[in-house]
């Protein structure tokens, strides 16, 4: 289904959902940024102190994977809402950021490396 819906459509769904509930009053940039951070932390909780095998086991468990999906979508919801409320074009912003990262982390110096970018 990812290939069947645009970011614009997702932002519209979130906007409609929030406007029906009169949540604009609560969705300023600060509170939405807090929501992104909070939900990302809730996602991270599922993986804290887990090794690679334990993570594979978690992701193989239907119920646990669904819980993780819910947390991930909560992050996406807040990202979409933040972008929608603040007139941020996510596709354009991602493209520009990827260009910056491409220059910052050139393939020939970065491939297979986990060095900090300052060491590159």
The domain containing residue 38 runs over which residues? 2-88
Q: Are residues 47 and 94 in the same domain?
A: no
Query: What is the per-residue pLDDT across 1-37, written as a single tens digit (0 to 9) for each?
Result: 888 999 999 999 999 999 999 999 999 999 999 999 9
pTM of the model: 0.88
Rounded-to-integer distance, Cα 34 and Cα 11, Å: 19
Q: Are residues 80 and 108 in the same domain?
A: no
For residue 83, how many C-alpha atoms fall within 13 Å in the half-sphere facing its CB? 21
Q: Are 27 and 81 in contact (CB under 8 A)?
A: yes
Q: Are residues 50 and 93 in the same domain?
A: no
Q: Are 42 and 71 in contact (CB under 8 A)?
A: yes
Domain count, the chain: 2
Tell me the percentage of the chain whose pLDDT exceeds 90. Answer: 86
* Alpha carbon separation from 65 to 1, 34, 83, 106 (Å, rounded): 18, 24, 27, 34
């Amino acid at each position: 289904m990812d290939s069947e819906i645009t970011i614009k459509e997702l932002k519209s769904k979130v906007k409609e959902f929030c406007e029906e509930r009169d949540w604009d009053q609560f969705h300023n940039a600060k509170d939405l940024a807090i929501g992104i951070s909070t939900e990302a932390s809730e996602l991270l909780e599922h993986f804290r102190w887990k090794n690679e095998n334990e993570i594979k086991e978690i992701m193989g468990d239907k119920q646990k994977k669904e819980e993780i999906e819910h947390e991930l979508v909560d992050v996406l919801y807040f990202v979409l809402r933040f972008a929608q409320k603040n007139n941020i074009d996510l596709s354009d912003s991602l493209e520009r950021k990827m260009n910056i990262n491409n220059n910052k982390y050139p393939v020939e110096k970065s491939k297979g490396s986990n060095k900090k970018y300052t060491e590159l």
